[in-house]
A and B are shown apart, each in its own frame.
Chain A
């Protein structure tokens, strides 16, 4: 929640949006960010709450095809938008290649940065399916890993990208 909650008592909004392909309606106050709505209202806790100021990327979601920090988007702003979160990546019991490669490469330690990084990597690879390591490192510069396990993350994403290209 942004700023002082006391002000928001009379400002309820009814919002309709598409989340991971499903039409979703929710109510929110102006102060509620998209991250608040996802986690507290819709109980989609895959999107993590890190810094709340756009620095760490733990709350990354894809909005109308572009990755954004959901802590810096108001819930009310997503009326009519299409949102993708980490919950939408696995197809049934099959993990997305990015998710599978994170497991294969042990590219996570505490795991709090992982959903944001996987989501950002997906958005990045859609624009740049065959990145150099340097391009990828810039592409993930908005995601901080507090365990500092960056190298394995880079290996996992590059490997997933190769697999995704091969499966095209």
Chain B
């Protein structure tokens, strides 16, 4: 009878070696999903690989060209980084919505992404930011566009023995802004009925130069909504644009019916929420003259 092993390697390579050694080994970041799943006997791994002692997973690097966020950075840590919060306020507000203070002290951005809940709060905001997910494995390092990372509830684009080391976000150009809103029946400590992430960059004349719109909790995975992006491009967020955006969001929905919301309700809320999120992103972009 084998024991449940725990290892906390210091390097990416050592972590890959350990993941390759034991079938079904599990990565541990903040444990706020993983340890609950073990307790509830949903999973029964033979090895836990704690990635928090690997330097690359535990730092924030801000350069003129990109922002790199270690996968094992917690919500509390990310929220305290003012430079990051000024660049990507929507990503940070999404990460900070995860759980209570106690959960914030542990829950990581990489764990939220890799757990692959359709309702994970940070994922629509990460997709809207245009992030790339940096993945390391036995074959080396590769980057996956964030919208291609979640594959199904609980399943991601990670191949065997790979793990997420960091997330790379672009440095937003002048006149850019992003936002994330979620709708929950309570005011705190609940799972999103709908989550919406929007990022926009404006031209000098105030029209939309580029945009990304993502929805969570309305389909098996968070979605990048192409038609919603097309609705925004070139526009000034007038009523006609907002109506098109609303419709594009509703058309993209393929939600479940559950105690938190029926299909009809989630679909309707998705349209409303995406309008509100776009308005916030827009306002932030107008204030951001770089």
**What residues of chain A have their CB less than 8 Å away from a CB belonging to chain B?**
2-4, 6-11, 13, 29-31, 33, 52-55, 57, 60, 63, 66-69, 71-74, 76-77, 120, 123-124, 138-139, 141-143
- Give 15 CB contacts A-B under 8 Å: A3-B4, A10-B3, A29-B3, A30-B3, A31-B4, A52-B39, A57-B102, A60-B102, A72-B32, A72-B106, A73-B31, A73-B35, A73-B106, A77-B31, A142-B103
When chains A and B are docked, how far (Å) is the Cα of A9 from the Cα of B46? 12
CB distance from A16 to the nearest CB of B (A): 14
Q: Does B41 contact A (CB under 8 A)?
A: yes
Q: DSSP class of A's interface residues: helix, strand, loop or mixed?
A: mixed
Q: Does B44 contact A (CB under 8 A)?
A: yes
Looking at A10, A29, A77, which has the most chain B CB atoms within 10 Å of its CB? A77
Determine whether the beta carbon of A6 is less than 8 Å from that of B6: no
Q: List the B residue with the shortest CB-CB distance to A143.
A: B100
Inside 8 A of A54's CB, which chain B residues have their CB?
A: 32, 36, 99-100, 102-103
CB distance from A162 to the nearest CB of B (A): 21
**What residues of chain B have their CB less than 8 Å away from a CB belonging to chain A?**
1-6, 8, 28, 30-32, 35-36, 38-41, 44, 46, 48, 50, 52, 74, 76, 99-103, 105-106, 188-189
Inside 8 A of A72's CB, which chain B residues have their CB?
A: 30-32, 35-36, 106
When chains A and B are docked, how far (Å) is the Cα of A141 from the Cα of B106? 16
Q: DSSP class of B's interface residues: helix, strand, loop or mixed?
A: loop
The 5 residue pairs across chains A and B that have the minimum distance between CB atoms = A142-B100, A11-B3, A10-B3, A66-B105, A30-B4
Inside 8 A of B38's CB, which chain A residues have their CB?
A: 2-3, 31
Q: List the B residue with the shortest CB-CB distance to A144.
A: B189
Determine whether the beta carbon of B5 is less than 8 Å from that of A142: no
Determine whether the beta carbon of A53 is less than 8 Å from that of B2: no
Determine whether the beta carbon of B44 is less than 8 Å from that of A3: yes
One of B4, B39, B40, B105 near A11 (C-beta < 8 A): B4
When chains A and B are docked, how far (Å) is the Cα of A123 from the Cα of B4? 33
CB distance from A102 to the nearest CB of B (A): 19
CB distance from B4 to the nearest CB of A (A): 4
Determine whether the beta carbon of B5 is less than 8 Å from that of A33: no
Determine whether the beta carbon of B6 is less than 8 Å from that of A76: yes
Determine whether the beta carbon of B102 is less than 8 Å from that of A67: yes
One of B36, B46, B76 near A53 (C-beta < 8 A): B36
CB distance from A2 to the nearest CB of B (A): 5
Inside 8 A of A52's CB, which chain B residues have their CB?
A: 39
Determine whether the beta carbon of B106 is less than 8 Å from that of A30: no
Contact of A3 with B39 at beta-carbon distance under 8 Å, contacts A29-B4, A30-B4 already known: yes
Looking at B1, B2, B36, B102, which has the most chain A CB atoms within 10 Å of its CB? B102
Contact of A33 with B35 at beta-carbon distance under 8 Å, contacts A10-B2, A67-B105 already known: yes
Contact of A7 with B102 at beta-carbon distance under 8 Å, contacts A2-B38, A33-B35, A74-B31 already known: no
Contact of A141 with B48 at beta-carbon distance under 8 Å, contacts A69-B102, A74-B35 already known: no
When chains A and B are docked, how far (Å) is the Cα of A57 from the Cα of B41? 21
Inside 8 A of A9's CB, which chain B residues have their CB?
A: 1, 3
CB distance from B198 to the nearest CB of A (A): 24
Inside 8 A of A30's CB, which chain B residues have their CB?
A: 3-6, 48
Determine whether the beta carbon of A7 is less than 8 Å from that of B101: no
Determine whether the beta carbon of A120 is less than 8 Å from that of B101: yes
CB distance from B45 to the nearest CB of A (A): 9
Known: A55-B189, A66-B76. 7 other contacts (CB 8 A): A31-B38, A54-B32, A60-B102, A63-B105, A66-B105, A67-B105, A141-B189
Determine whether the beta carbon of A57 is less than 8 Å from that of B100: yes
When chains A and B are docked, how far (Å) is the Cα of A13 from the Cα of B36? 21
When chains A and B are docked, how far (Å) is the Cα of A69 from the Cα of B101? 9
CB distance from A116 to the nearest CB of B (A): 9
Contact of A124 with B101 at beta-carbon distance under 8 Å, contacts A2-B38, A73-B106 already known: yes
Inside 8 A of A53's CB, which chain B residues have their CB?
A: 36, 39-40
